[in-house]
């Protein structure tokens, strides 16, 4: 009998002890400075500026440094980069006519960045690229043909500020064209045959009543 009572109170004491150990960890956070960030409306500065420098955000291209070697397109394992090079038959100069990156397909592996010897392609700190129109996930960095860069071997490369090239392409992501709102697409389901027949019968009955009057 005494052993049963001791075991009973022993179980209670162990329960209280283990519960207090678990709550001690939780209670300690009441007296610590919060480490969480209330994204996106309570950050001290834009979150893109708070990320590490080597964060793998949305790809951006510095067309002034691109030599048109297309190594990035060839190395991309999922073909999210599309480049077109045109050659002027008169001047024999090569120009970039197209440099598109589909960020909807990009898996941010960084292989294309490592393959770019001119350091024209790199990851930015921008990651908020939500679009209402899926076609806008393809970012077009070349609007008109542009001569490829000719970099000298020992020439220093002047990189533009991180994110300055991609940010204009991501402005107003929820609009299409010249600031016009994209209309919502509402699906309409065709009426069933039974519903259609009932509607026709009601119309015929109404017509008959109007005739009798």
Cβ contact 125:45 at 8 Å: no
pLDDT of residue 180: 36
Backbone angles phi, psi at 159, to 5 degrees: -85, 140
Q: Is the omega angle on the peptide bond into residue 56 within 30 degrees of 0, that is, cis?
A: no
Segment 10-38 shows an average pLDDT of: 86
The answer to whether the pTM exceeds 0.85 is no
Which residues form the domain of 81? 53-152+160-172
118 with 78, same domain: the answer is yes
Q: Are residues 64 and 138 in the same domain?
A: yes
User: In the structure, what pLDDT confidence band is assigned to residue 194 with cuts at 50, 70 and 90?
Assistant: very low
Same domain, 107 and 8: no
Q: Label residue 181 by pLDDT band (50, 70, 90).
A: very low
Residue 133 lies in a domain: yes
Q: How many domains does the chain have?
A: 2
Q: Could you tell me if 112 and 75 are in contact, meaning their C-beta atoms sit under 8 angstroms apart?
A: yes
CA end-to-end span of the chain: 99
């Amino acid at each position: 009998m005494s052993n049963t009572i001791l075991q009973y109170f022993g179980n209670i004491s162990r329960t209280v002890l283990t519960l207090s150990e678990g709550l001690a960890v939780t209670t300690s956070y009441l007296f610590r400075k919060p480490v969480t960030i209330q994204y996106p409306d309570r950050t001290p500065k834009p979150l893109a500026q708070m990320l590490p420098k080597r964060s793998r955000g949305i790809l951006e291209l510095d067309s002034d440094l691109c030599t048109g070697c297309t190594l990035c397109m060839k190395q991309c394992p999922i073909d999210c980069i599309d480049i077109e090079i045109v050659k002027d038959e008169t001047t024999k100069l090569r120009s970039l006519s197209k440099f598109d990156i589909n960020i909807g397909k990009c898996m941010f592996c960084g292989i294309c960045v490592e393959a770019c010897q001119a350091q024209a392609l790199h990851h930015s700190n921008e990651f908020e690229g939500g679009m209402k129109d899926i076609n806008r996930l393809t970012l077009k960095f070349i609007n008109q043909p542009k001569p490829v860069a000719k970099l000298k071997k020992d020439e220093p490369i002047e990189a533009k500020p991180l994110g300055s090239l991609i940010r204009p392409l991501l402005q107003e992501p929820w609009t299409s064209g010249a600031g016009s709102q994209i209309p919502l697409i509402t699906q309409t389901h065709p009426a069933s045959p039974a519903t259609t027949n009932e509607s026709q019968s009601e119309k015929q009955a109404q017509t008959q009543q109007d005739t009798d009057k």
